Amino acid sequence: MKLLQSLLLALTLLASALSPSYAASETGSHGWTLQPLSLRDGPGAAYAVTGNIAENAAIRVLRCQKVWCLVDGPGGRGWTSLERVGFGTTPEGPLFAIQPNYPAGGPGTVCFYTGTNYSGSSFCAGPGQVFPDLALYGVDNSFASVEIKGNVSAAACRERKFHSYCERIVESQPVLDRYLNRNLSSVRVY
C-alpha cells in the first residue's frame, strides 16, 4: 500500500512539473529555440534529460551560465545549451538579421540616461563603439531612457556580451522597453 501511495505521489509531482502552468513563467527574458532543445536537470551533459522543446518555440530564459541556460517553455523547465537559444522578439533576433533601414554610420550619438525623459546622468557613444559589459564602466542596469541623435542606432541587451533579451533601438525612447529598463548590460552603436 505504501508503495502504491509513493508511486501515485511521484506521478502527481511529475505531472505537475510537466503541466502548461509550470512552463509559463512570467519572469525571464523572451527567447526562441534555434534548434530542438533537450532539457536537463542541471547545467551539463552529465545531467538527466527531463524534457524537450521543439525548434522555433517561444521560451523564457531564466538565467544563463557560461554555456548553459535555464529555460522554461512548452516542453517544461530545464537546462540547455546556450548555442541553441536565440534572444529577442523573433527567432531571427534583432541584432544580426539584415535590416537595410536601420540608421547606421553617423554622424550621431546614442545617449542612455539614468532617469526617464532623458534626465539624470548620461552615457553617450558614437558609431562603432562596443560595450560588452557596462559593469566595467560602473553603469550596469542603470538606464531608464535613450536618446538617438543623428544617423545611428544601437543594439542593447540585458546581459553582458550581448546575451539574453536584445533590442535594436532606432529611435529615442523616453522610457526604455520594459525588458531593458534598468536592465541594460551591453551596448553596440551602429
pLDDT for res 21: 35
Closest CA relative to residue 162, chosen from 44, 64, 38: 64
Could you tell me if residue 159 is inside a domain?
A: yes
For the chain, the 3-state helix, strand and coil shares in percent, each to the nearest 5, are 15, 40, 50
Could you tell me if residue 46 is inside a domain?
A: yes
Could you tell me if residue 179 is inside a domain?
A: yes
Most distant CA atoms of the chain, gap in Å: 77
Would you call 163 exposed, middle or buried from its count of C-beta atoms within 10 A (0-12, 13-18, 19+)? buried
Residue 19: which domain range?
2-86
Could you tell me if residue 143 is inside a domain?
A: yes
pLDDT for res 183: 92
3-state secondary structure of 125: strand
Kindly give the confidence (pLDDT) of every residue in the chain, 190 residues in length, as a single tens digit, with 9 standing for 90 and above: 554 444 444 444 344 343 333 345 566 777 888 889 999 999 999 999 999 999 988 898 888 888 899 999 999 999 999 888 887 656 655 455 445 578 889 999 999 999 999 999 999 999 999 998 999 999 999 999 999 999 999 989 888 877 777 888 999 999 998 889 999 999 999 9
pLDDT for res 100: 58
- How many domains does the chain divide into? 2
pLDDT for res 9: 42
Indicate yes or no: pTM above 0.75.
no
Separation between Cα atoms, residue 168 and residue 161, nearest integer Å? 15
